[in-house]
Chains A and B, each alone.
Chain A
Amino acid sequence: MNTLRSTFATAVLACAMILPATNASASSVAQKSISELASTSDMIFEGQVVGIRSETIGKKVFTYVTFEVADVVRGKYAQNTVELRYLGGTANGVTMRVGDMKLPSFGERGVYFVEKMAGNTVHPLRGWGQGHFIVKPGSAGDSMYNSLGQAITSISTGKTADTSSPLKINNHTAAGVSMDAGAKQVMDLNSFKDAIRGLK
């Protein structure tokens, strides 16, 4: 298995302990349009979480999430897996919460917008939760949800869906992503990926 480390070389601490991800909100992130997120992400891929581990480096706690890459939606990537590093998590008896950093859970399938493949960012995804989409099986096939589990009904293909409106601070939902809690027609995975590929 080839694994790309998104950032620094890491030393695995033998006593690293993995606990369920925390979900405290403590960040102020600008809401961006889905087209801007797509055009400024190094790589967008469909994948599944196959590994999670946390470790301490000094006083900080990092969580490393390994994805099996099923499809590269935008950008170039030839490996089977990718590892992304999140600041925060639980290791060695210490929990560090950073932002509403909703870490992917083990086994989760999703579409992920990676900001910088070689970056050292607090959150590896562009726009934090705005670049984190979850795939769930539905009656009509794979269906798309945002990181909070809200059903996605459509993607606006406009290039700058948010530039005319006041700036919003939203860690979870990009402008141009339409959601409906009671939606009967949830956007399917392939339509979602096609829409992302078609964004300018």
Chain B
Amino acid sequence: MKIWQAAAFTLSAAIASTASAYQVSGSKWEDGKFRLYVGIPATVPTLDLDNNPITWNFIIQQAVAAWDNPVQGLEITVVDQTSNPCDGYTGTDGVTIGGPVVNPNAGNPTRDDTTAVQNGIGLDDDVCGSAFGSDVYAVTLLRSVSNQPALYQEADIIFNSNFQYDIHNNSFSSSATPGSVTTPLDARRLAIKQLGFALGLIEEPNIPSIMHPNAATRSITNPTTDDLQGMRILYPNPVASTDPDIRLAVEEPNNSQIKSGISNIRGWAIGLKDIRLVEVSLDGGAFQPIPYGSVRSDVASTFSQYPKSGNSGFSMIFNWSSLSNGQHQISVRAHDIDDNVVTVNRSFTVARFNDSFIDNVNIAGSSSISNQKTVTLNNVNADNVNYTVKLEWDNAAQKFNVVSTQAE
């Protein structure tokens, strides 16, 4: 076993982690297609940020765009046509609202939606015959059938018309009360959140997001990166003919990077088929497996068409000073379950002291010369050898790196 291998595998693997918090209900819309009928009468008073009149339909369309535009796998069609969200439900008088149910599976555009039952959104003073209850602003009713529990068949969003709404960026007032015009609720945030529910997300209690219970207390007025990551998990990007079977990225070391001391070999690998192995080789030596499968929500967000892209990270701590001074080659390759293989090669340079692991450093007798991004230290004593050491600022890593060591 070469010295670099020994050094690498006696150190524990470092698993890079990008935390995500979104939560999903377990159901979604078939093929990402959702048709929403929006025909709220323009007479419902609502004001925009400049206190100019604005229609609810515009607010809903903006809320739809907040989800639909950034999520390629989602296709929301807004139909500018009045549709009582309670059509087909039984009202308080026991009579079916909007006439009898003709087709209970009509919410999806792939089905016949010419009947009274379709995805609707509106304001009302009750929830299709049931009272909202105290302090309830909006409710989304979601229907699915037992033989297809993972697919929604219909979604209806009802805002409580007993409250006043407009558009604002402030926290919701704790004194918001039914009928009050001085403490209006922000219709935009409520609409985005209710649409999030209708599309398959649920509340997440861990990080600031539009789906967080306390989003109204923060200046979050649109879906966050985490919200959108969740939506992309539900509705992945469509696979394009140009998408390769495997994508492999080596983030550390970068090409031509100067490495010293202990840091990581890391990156990510995704495949249209499951990745079964990621391995690494230095200077043409034998390939060795590298720990794979750490959380990479950023990769999932960009490449959601690749299954398991959210757990695509690989990382391993490595002592670069276990290699000799000078230029080296690293090869990382990823294999999928169909034995497709992709290899990425990088060249990098090692700057090290004579010993691969320095126990004692003394810079008491050193002097320095600095310019814009570098600092050169003379008379640096490392394990009883004097060196001239050059440090350079690495913007990507946000730290100074040793880029050369010269024994004096």
Contact = CB atoms under 8 A, between A and B. Distances in A.
A169 B215 contact: yes
Interface stretch (B51-59, B189-197, B316-324, B388-396): B189-197
B12 interface: no
Contacts of A58: 88-90, 96, 101
Nearest to B213: A170
A60 B216 CA distance: 30
Contact of B27 (A24, A98, A99): A24
B145 A93 contact: yes
Contacts of A28: 136-139, 190, 193-194
Interface string B125-145: 001111111111111111111
Given A97-B25, A164-B174, A165-B174, A27 B142 contact: no
A172 B134 CA distance: 15
A122 interface: yes
Given A27-B138, A163-B175, A169 B216 contact: yes
A169 B214 contact: yes
Interface of B: 23, 25-27, 88-90, 92, 96, 101, 104, 117, 127-147, 149, 171-176, 190, 193-194, 197-198, 202-203, 205, 213-217
Interface string A84-101: 000100100111111110
A27 B92 CA distance: 21
B214 A168 contact: yes
Given A59-B101, A115-B133, 7 more contacts: A27-B140, A29-B136, A93-B145, A94-B143, A97-B143, A121-B130, A172-B213
Contact of B139 (A31, A98, A163, A168): A98
B127 A167 contact: no
Interface in A53-80: 57-60
A128 interface: yes
The CB with the most chain A CB atoms within 10 A, among B88, B134, B217, is that of B134
A60 B129 contact: yes
Contacts of B149: 95
A26 B198 contact: yes
27 contacts: A22-B25, A25-B25, A26-B139, A28-B194, A30-B176, A31-B213, A59-B90, A59-B101, A60-B90, A90-B146, A94-B145, A97-B142, A97-B143, A97-B144, A98-B127, A98-B139, A99-B139, A99-B140, A119-B133, A122-B136, A127-B134, A128-B133, A128-B136, A164-B174, A166-B172, A169-B137, A169-B172
A63 to B, nearest CB: 13
Contacts of B197: 24-27
Contacts of A132: none
A20 B110 CA distance: 29
User: For chain A, what secondary structure do more than half of its interface residues adopt (helix, strand, loop), or is it mixed?
Assistant: loop
Nearest to B201: A25
Chain A interface category by residue count: 35 or more
Contact of A167 (B138, B141, B176): B176
A58 to B, nearest CB: 3
A142 interface: no
B174 A166 contact: yes
The CB with the most chain B CB atoms within 10 A, among A40, A95, A123, is that of A95
The CB with the most chain A CB atoms within 10 A, among B90, B140, B203, B214, is that of B203
A149 to B, nearest CB: 12
Contacts of A30: 135-137, 172, 176
Contacts of B190: 28
A174 to B, nearest CB: 11
A171 interface: yes
Contacts, number: 167
A59 B130 contact: no
Contacts of B137: 28-30, 169
A115 B131 CA distance: 11
Nearest to A165: B174
A165 to B, nearest CB: 6
Nearest to B214: A168
B203 A25 contact: yes
Contact of A95 (B117, B146, B214): B146
Contact of A59 (B89, B127, B146, B217): B89
Contacts of A99: 139-140
A167 B173 contact: yes
A120 interface: yes
A40 to B, nearest CB: 7
A32 B135 contact: yes
A90 B143 CA distance: 10
A170 B146 contact: no
Contact of A123 (B90, B128, B133, B142): B133
Nearest to A85: B130
The CB with the most chain A CB atoms within 10 A, among B129, B132, B145, B171, is that of B129
A121 B131 contact: yes
A119 B131 contact: yes
A193 interface: no
Contacts of B202: 23-26, 100
A90 B173 CA distance: 36
Nearest 5 A/B pairs, CB to CB: A58-B90, A166-B171, A26-B197, A26-B140, A25-B202
A59 B213 contact: no
The CB with the most chain B CB atoms within 10 A, among A29, A119, A127, is that of A29
Contacts of A169: 137, 172, 193, 213-216
The CB with the most chain B CB atoms within 10 A, among A24, A31, A90, A168, is that of A24
Nearest to A96: B143
A186 to B, nearest CB: 19
